[in-house]
A and B are shown apart, each in its own frame.
Chain A
Amino acid sequence: MSFLKDLVTLDVVTVTGKFVLKKEAKTESRRNVQRHIIDFDSMFNQLENGSVETDAEMRILAATRIEIDRDTYHFVSSNLTEADEGLVKMHFDAVTAATEGRSATLARLMPRGLRRGDDASGDNA
């Protein structure tokens, strides 16, 4: 059921912290190569599982849940600074993108006759 519940709800979480890209110098025989490294896979996995284990100072700035019936819950961190306002705006931009993305996906997956705006006059008419 948790899988189904996850599918029908839309969660957007914004976490802030000191995320920087460390440069790692790798010496090869003929040249020096600088590689940017960040382990996004593990970080997002931890975030998804709700168990972030890191020494970095991280905090959840905002979280949004939209239910299937469009009931929406917004969680915004208290004590927001002036600099956080832009981040909150970005969070809501991400929510909008996710909502529109899901709607668009559903619209494309919907059988042809049931799509909103479809009428009898298609390309084949």
Chain B
Amino acid sequence: MNERVKHFRDCCRLLDQDKEESKAAADSLGQMVEEDMPQEYGIPYSPEGTLKTNTVPDEQARHYRGLWHELVQHLTDLGYLSDKEFVAYHKRRRSAADDPVILSPVLKAARTYLAEEEWPELAEIYTGDFSDIQLYHLEQYLGQLVERIARYTSFDGVLPPPAAYQLGQVNCYGRSLAYRLRTLITFDKKLHDVYVCTEAEIGYLFNLDQILELELLKKPDHAIDLQIPKRFWEIIADIDVLYEKFRDAKPPGTRKRTIALVYSLTANRSMQEAEVSLSASPSLGTKPRWTKNLVKDSERITSRPYNFLGIRILQVKLWQTNFYIGAVDGTWGTVSHEAVEQLIAQEKEMLAEESPQLKRRQIKDREKLLARAQTKLPGESTYVVGLAPLYTLLAHYHSTASAPEESVENILEDLKNQDGVDDEAIDKKVLHDDAVGELYPDAAKKPRRRVAYTRVSFWQGIKRGIKRIGRWIAKTIKKLLGPIFGFVKLILGRIRSSIQRFFRGFRYLGYFLLGKPIVTLARPLAEGGDPMVMATKFGRDWDGYNLINDEARPEDIDRHSAHIKDMKDSMFYFIDSTVKIIKAIGKLTQPGGWVWLGLKIARFLLEEVVDIIV
């Protein structure tokens, strides 16, 4: 007989006996009936009154079921639901649509959550007392609710820093901070049951700050500041930013330039956890000597917090991209190893498909990246995973929510082509089975496992993409702006100088035709003296007469020589340009004249550009 049933029966028997024993038995029965049993068994009546989920049409129920699963996960992560309630829900989740009582703890947790939430739009969604919220209220706005609560457990960088949050406050941010500490810091199991961050956890925050060399929490007077800086929030809410900070931080006592994860698998593919460690190496390569050094170096930082944090960051990223389906617990086990292998296999497959379109150099680069992402030491069961190359590969991956439509179709098509899989089987598999359950078959047995629900929705994704582009432009504009402005300046300079030359030529032509000399004044010999004159006059037959002051300095004489040359060149430039303009005007009256002019201008500009570049 089940122990708990036996205990239940014993308690019942004790009810009418000794007074003290009867009281203890009654208390124990109360605990079992009121708290344990509703989670384990379907109770035919609802302690919350009428529980109805009648607002959703049947065809939408499946979609809503997914949202309920997600809500349960977030509520559990933030400590609104206990692990026990999470397990109970997953054991009976298939019946939730027919038996709303299963959702009773979820409703209770959601009420608590909403009471703590500072959400301006909440007033539009629900106006009454939060304790009066019923399942159909939640169901009506389930999408928005899930979207909102998911920010607190997401590592996609969608959680904005709080306007005002002080350590110790019991609200969503306090719970989110505790969740992030639990997820990222592994070296203290005390954190496992911490769901609201208080002053007692300040040490963990300092540790995180120290490992990442952020120095955001450090105060000059060593006083504890209960306000968490905005930048700190931004870092712990975005796994990519967190990784960048981790990568740039240097583990003490090491000469780090690259980081790699070194671990061994035994013959039966179980993991030797003690040997899992990060390694700091001066360079990243694939030669045996490099890997040997890496393994040696890894021993220095094996047991350091830096090591554990690195493993967790990698797990979160693998989890976020749906390669890793285990718990983010800092234990690099077989599931983590398989996640990396799956990623590498997928990348190799993609490379083979794309190879015909790639250049040899590109193929080599991709192969090198893959080799550096995961290497198996020859003759041993030791694996070396390069963090930076692996993260580069992962950075290219879209999450499930933003996967392109055609890839889903391809998957279905591939399934169809497999032997023994007919349309009906696919339909049953994809549409009628619980997809979450298929991917994570033991959610009830392994409550630490989580589904990676990406928070970057379509519009958020676009917004984020635009922000990234903005940041990229801002970064590159500094590099590009100089050359662009320089180029434009050169073009404009050329055009301006041509115009000036044209009018100068007009003036010189006037001098030439009217028999006026061109004059260059040289600096006087003494301060305040009379300027010296150098004059040249060309007749209309180009006979020339120079009147030069014999005391002029050589540089002034050179200036006059240049003046003469410029006079001749500018004059003919003016004449040629004028003739061209007249011809152009004449051409405009002909059919296609404007096209011809456009081509001429384009050719002129092209020549100018080529001239400038060359």
Q: Is B560 an interface residue (CB 8 A)?
A: yes
Contacts of A108 in B (CB 8 A): 572, 575
Cα–Cα, bound, A90→B549 (Å): 12
Cα–Cα, bound, A98→B519 (Å): 16
Cα–Cα, bound, A17→B550 (Å): 6
Q: How far is the CB of A38 from chain B (nearest CB, A)?
A: 6
- Interchain residue pairs A-B with the least CB separation, the first 6: A16-B550, A20-B530, A102-B542, A14-B546, A12-B544, A93-B561
Question: Do the beta carbons of A40 and B535 come within 8 Å of each other?
Answer: yes
Contacts of B42 in A (CB 8 A): none
Question: Do the beta carbons of B519 and A13 come within 8 Å of each other?
Answer: no
> Which residue of A has the minimal Cβ distance to B541?
A7
Given contacts A16-B549, A23-B530, is CB(A94)–CB(B517) below 8 Å? no
Question: Do the beta carbons of A86 and B549 come within 8 Å of each other?
Answer: no
Q: How far is the CB of A21 from chain B (nearest CB, A)?
A: 5
Chain A, interface size category, equals 35 or more
Q: Is B521 an interface residue (CB 8 A)?
A: yes
Q: Is B543 an interface residue (CB 8 A)?
A: yes
Question: Which residues from 583 to 608 on chain B have a C-beta closer than 8 Å to any C-beta of chain A?
Answer: 583
Cα–Cα, bound, A71→B552 (Å): 32
Cα–Cα, bound, A54→B416 (Å): 112
Question: Do the beta carbons of B543 and A98 come within 8 Å of each other?
Answer: yes
0/1 interface trace, chain B 504-531, chain A, CB 8 Å (1 if under): 0000000000011101010010000111
Given contacts A20-B533, A90-B557, is CB(A14)–CB(B542) below 8 Å? no
Contacts of A95 in B (CB 8 A): 544
0/1 interface trace, chain B 566-577, chain A, CB 8 Å (1 if under): 011001100100
Question: Do the beta carbons of B543 and A86 come within 8 Å of each other?
Answer: no
Question: Do the beta carbons of B549 and A19 come within 8 Å of each other?
Answer: yes
Chain B, interface size category, equals 35 or more
Contacts of A10 in B (CB 8 A): 541-543
0/1 interface trace, chain A 70-93, chain B, CB 8 Å (1 if under): 000000000000011011011101
Question: Do the beta carbons of B547 and A17 come within 8 Å of each other?
Answer: yes
Q: How far is the CB of B520 from chain A (nearest CB, A)?
A: 10
Q: Which of A84, A87, A91, A123 has the most CB of B within 10 A?
A: A87
Question: Do the beta carbons of A91 and B546 come within 8 Å of each other?
Answer: yes
> Which residue of A has the minimal Cβ distance to B516?
A40
Question: Mind listing 15 A-B residue pairs with CB under 8 Å?
Answer: A12-B543, A12-B545, A14-B546, A21-B533, A40-B516, A40-B535, A44-B515, A90-B560, A94-B546, A97-B538, A98-B544, A100-B568, A101-B572, A104-B572, A105-B542
Cα–Cα, bound, A97→B512 (Å): 13
Given contacts A20-B549, A94-B536, is CB(A87)–CB(B557) below 8 Å? yes
Q: How far is the CB of A45 from chain B (nearest CB, A)?
A: 9
Cα–Cα, bound, A100→B549 (Å): 25
Q: Which of A21, A47, A100 has the most CB of B within 10 A?
A: A21
0/1 interface trace, chain A 88-122, chain B, CB 8 Å (1 if under): 01110111011111101100100000000000000
0/1 interface trace, chain B 227-259, chain A, CB 8 Å (1 if under): 000000000000000000000000000000000
Contacts of B464 in A (CB 8 A): none
Q: Is A22 an interface residue (CB 8 A)?
A: yes
> Which residue of B has the minimal Cβ distance to A22?
B530
Cα–Cα, bound, A37→B568 (Å): 25
Q: Which of B515, B530, B543 has the most CB of A within 10 A?
A: B543
Q: How far is the CB of B573 from chain A (nearest CB, A)?
A: 11
Contacts of A21 in B (CB 8 A): 521, 530-533
Q: A13-B546, A94-B536 are in contact. List 10 more A-B contacts (CB 8 A).
A: A10-B543, A15-B547, A21-B531, A21-B532, A21-B533, A44-B517, A44-B535, A87-B557, A90-B561, A99-B542
Contacts of A100 in B (CB 8 A): 568
Question: Do the beta carbons of A6 and B546 come within 8 Å of each other?
Answer: no
Q: Is B109 an interface residue (CB 8 A)?
A: no
Contacts of A98 in B (CB 8 A): 538, 542-544
Q: Is A18 an interface residue (CB 8 A)?
A: yes
Q: Is B564 an interface residue (CB 8 A)?
A: yes
Question: Do the beta carbons of A93 and B544 come within 8 Å of each other?
Answer: no
Question: Do the beta carbons of A19 and B538 come within 8 Å of each other?
Answer: no
Given contacts A40-B537, A86-B557, A86-B558, is CB(A15)–CB(B546) below 8 Å? yes
Cα–Cα, bound, A104→B538 (Å): 14
Cα–Cα, bound, A115→B551 (Å): 44
Q: How far is the CB of A112 from chain B (nearest CB, A)?
A: 12
Contacts of B572 in A (CB 8 A): 101, 104, 108
Cα–Cα, bound, A8→B565 (Å): 22
Cα–Cα, bound, A86→B530 (Å): 22
Contacts of A69 in B (CB 8 A): none
Q: Which of B517, B524, B531, B533 has the most CB of A within 10 A?
A: B533
Cα–Cα, bound, A73→B544 (Å): 15
Cα–Cα, bound, A95→B545 (Å): 10
Q: Is B167 an interface residue (CB 8 A)?
A: no
Cα–Cα, bound, A91→B561 (Å): 8
Given contacts A98-B543, A101-B542, A108-B575, is CB(A16)–CB(B548) below 8 Å? yes
Q: How far is the CB of A3 from chain B (nearest CB, A)?
A: 10
> Which residue of A has the minimal Cβ distance to B546?
A14
> Which residue of B has the minimal Cβ distance to A106?
B542
Question: Do the beta carbons of A11 and B550 come within 8 Å of each other?
Answer: no
Q: How far is the CB of B603 from chain A (nearest CB, A)?
A: 12
Question: Do the beta carbons of A86 and B554 come within 8 Å of each other?
Answer: yes
Question: Which residues from 4 to 63 on chain A have a C-beta closer than 8 Å to any C-beta of chain B?
Answer: 6-7, 10-23, 36, 38, 40, 43-44, 47-48, 61
Name A90's contact: one of B541, B548, B575 (CB within 8 Å).
Answer: B548
Contacts of B531 in A (CB 8 A): 20-21, 36
Q: How far is the CB of B524 from chain A (nearest CB, A)?
A: 8
Given contacts A44-B517, A102-B541, A104-B572, is CB(A90)–CB(B547) below 8 Å? no
Given contacts A83-B550, A87-B557, A97-B568, is CB(A13)–CB(B533) below 8 Å? no
Question: Do the beta carbons of B551 and A18 come within 8 Å of each other?
Answer: yes
Question: Do the beta carbons of A97 and B557 come within 8 Å of each other?
Answer: no
Given contacts A87-B557, A90-B557, is CB(A6)–CB(B541) below 8 Å? yes
Question: Do the beta carbons of B537 and A44 come within 8 Å of each other?
Answer: yes
